[in-house]
């Protein structure tokens, strides 16, 4: 029988007490007490990860600990918020010490890296399910929203999207006809299992970029969320997509599919005024993350007053400006919700 108190205390509460005590009151009381810095808002996001849907049953628990927190920190990054703390609720079929030890190690290594404190939790018996709610601090006037893109803005992407999707293909043997050498396979798996939330980049972009989100479901689909909420369109240069050397060794069509429709990248897609290009590059350099300009925000098709329910258009083109007709629908990726 799973006991909340012994389990939490051994792997989580004791470890949490070693953290800097930012929370006035943490695990062990009814609530944790936290506060954003004076003049700042608290940014809050929640994500639930389910076995078979967000990770494979035989996932390395250390990687799972990392990723469970990483996908939440990525939401803070996309807001330009500084991580403060998180709550962890999880259901486990039965408590396995080796599993918990590895899971908590992966979780706390990333938490420590971002100075993000475990402030509360709940454990229960049940099918494996992980739910994290993360808290950050951000000034409301520089928060990176989704509804603030403007026609003429550049569209940027961090890192090299598509690698995580290739990692899933390697794990599931999706492409049996496709030779992937061992070093590339390891690189792709790491992209899938240990995504790095772009926290430093998000902080550096706050006040520089206009709209932003993190790419969890694929660049093409997620960019549409910015377009919908900002009521704009976009023209994207497919030849400008940043492709990793490993992904570049796969057929070109697969590169584009992975980069545009693959999930689980957790890169930042953002827009910024053309006049801020130098500032964007400086922010990226400060954060140590590559950013690439891939397109432009356009006026909504049909202009003001047009049917607002219409699917916001992304016009794809190549480096020469010739239109491309991409079919991205139905390209299965792992993280579908």
Which of these, 5, 1, 24, lies nearest to 14 by C-alpha position? Answer: 5
Would you count residue 150 as binding its own copies (CB under 8 A)?
no
Q: Which helix (H) or strand (E) holds 49?
A: strand 41-50
User: Taking CB under 8 A as the criterion, which residues in 263-322 touch its own copies?
Assistant: none
Stretch that binds its own copies, among 131-139, 185-193, 309-317, 320-328 (CB under 8 A): 131-139
In the numeric block, the tokens 């240069």 are attached to: 237
Would you count residue 213 as binding its own copies (CB under 8 A)?
yes
Q: Count interface residues toward its own copies (CB under 8 A).
A: 67
Question: By C-beta, is 49 or 260 nearer to its own copies?
Answer: 49
First to last CA, the chain: 32
Residue 299, classified by CB atoms within 10 Å of its CB into exposed (0-12), middle (13-18) or buried (19+), is middle
Read off the DSSP letter of residue 217.
S
- Nearest distance, CB of residue 171 and its own copies, angstroms: 20
Stretch that binds its own copies, among 137-145, 163-171, 244-252, 313-321 (CB under 8 A): 137-145
Stretch that binds its own copies, among 12-20, 52-60, 150-158, 232-240 (CB under 8 A): 52-60
Which of these, 228, 218, 71, lies nearest to 145 by C-alpha position? Answer: 228
Tokens for 18, please give them.
């070693």
296 Rama class: left (phi>0) / alpha (psi -120 to 50) / beta: beta
Question: By C-beta, is 156 or 187 nearer to its own copies?
Answer: 156
Residues 6+ positions from 140 with CB-CB distance below 8 Å: 40, 41
- Nearest distance, CB of residue 191 and its own copies, angstroms: 21
**What track of x and - describes contact with its own copies for positions 224 through 253 (by CB under 8 A)?**
-----x------------------------
Quick one: which of 14, 17, 21, 35 contacts its own copies (CB under 8 A)?
35
Helix (H, G, I), strand (E, B) or coil at 232: coil
Residues 6+ positions from 118 with CB-CB distance below 8 Å: 12, 15, 16, 19, 26, 27, 85, 86, 87, 88, 108, 111
Question: By C-beta, is 54 or 247 nearer to its own copies?
Answer: 54
Residues making up the binding site: 30, 45-47, 54, 75, 121-122, 146, 214, 216-217, 264, 331
Residues making up the binding site for ATP: 121-122, 146, 216
From residue 268, how far is each of 55, 67, 196 by CA, in Å? Answer: 21, 16, 11
Question: By C-beta, is 130 or 256 nearer to its own copies?
Answer: 130
- Nearest distance, CB of residue 21 and its own copies, angstroms: 13
- Nearest distance, CB of residue 283 and its own copies, angstroms: 18
Quick one: which of 69, 70, 119, 215 contacts its own copies (CB under 8 A)?
119
Question: By C-beta, is 285 or 308 nearer to its own copies?
Answer: 308
Residues 80-112: b if buried by 16+ CB within 10 A, e if exposed:
bbbbbbbbbbbbbeebeeebbebbbebbbebbe
Other CB atoms within a 10 A radius of the CB of residue 176 amount to 7
Which of these, 217, 229, 199, 202, lies nearest to 297 by C-alpha position? Answer: 229
**What track of x and - describes contact with its own copies for positions 68 through 107 (by CB under 8 A)?**
-------xx-xx-x-----xxxxx----------------
- Nearest distance, CB of residue 159 and its own copies, angstroms: 17
Stretch that binds its own copies, among 28-36, 173-181, 193-201, 301-309 (CB under 8 A): 28-36
CB 300 within 8 A of CB 306: yes
Instruction: Please state, in angstroms and rounded to a whole number, the distance separating the CA atoms of residues 116 and 18.
Output: 12
Instruction: State residue 48 phi and psi, 5-degree precision.
Output: -115, 130
Q: Give the binding site for its own copies (CB under 8 A).
A: 1-4, 24-25, 28-36, 40-54, 75-76, 78-79, 81, 87-91, 119-127, 129, 131, 133, 135-136, 138, 140, 143-147, 212-214, 229, 336-337
């Amino acid at each position: 029988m799973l006991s909340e108190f012994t389990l939490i205390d051994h792997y989580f509460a004791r470890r949490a007490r070693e953290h800097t005590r930012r929370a006035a009151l943490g695990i062990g009381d009814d609530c944790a007490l936290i506060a954003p810095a004076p003049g700042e808002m608290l940014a809050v996001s929640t994500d639930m990860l389910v076995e078979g849907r967000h990770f494979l049953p035989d996932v390395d628990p250390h990687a799972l600990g990392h990723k469970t927190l990483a996908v939440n920190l990525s939401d803070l990054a996309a807001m330009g918020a500084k991580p403060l703390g998180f709550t962890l609720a999880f259901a486990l079929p039965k408590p396995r010490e080796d599993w918990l030890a590895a899971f908590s190690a992966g979780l706390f290594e990333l938490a420590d890296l971002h100075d993000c404190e475990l402030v509360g939790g709940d454990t229960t018996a049940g099918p494996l399910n992980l739910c994290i709610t993360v808290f950050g601090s951000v000034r409301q006037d520089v928060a990176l929203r989704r509804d603030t893109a403007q026609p003429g803005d550049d569209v940027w992407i961090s890192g090299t999207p598509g690698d995580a999707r290739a990692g899933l293909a390697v794990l599931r043997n999706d492409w049996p006809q496709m030779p992937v050498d061992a070093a590339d396979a390891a690189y792709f798996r790491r992209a899938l299992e240990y995504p790095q939330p772009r926290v430093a980049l998000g902080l550096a972009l706050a006040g520089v970029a206009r709209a932003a989100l993190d790419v969890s479901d694929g660049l093409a689909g997620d960019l549409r969320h910015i377009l919908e909420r900002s009521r704009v369109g976009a023209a994207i240069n497919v030849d400008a997509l940043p492709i990793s050397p490993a992904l570049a060794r796969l057929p070109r069509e697969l590169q584009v599919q992975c980069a545009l429709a693959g999930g689980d990248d957790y890169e930042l897609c953002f827009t910024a005024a053309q006049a801020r290009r130098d500032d964007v590059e400086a922010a990226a350099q400060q954060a140590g993350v590559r950013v690439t300009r891939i397109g432009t925000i356009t006026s909504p098709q049909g202009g003001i007053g047009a049917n607002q329910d219409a699917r916001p258009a992304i016009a794809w083109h190549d480096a020469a400006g010739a239109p491309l007709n991409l079919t991205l629908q139905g390209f299965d990726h792992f993280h579908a919700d």
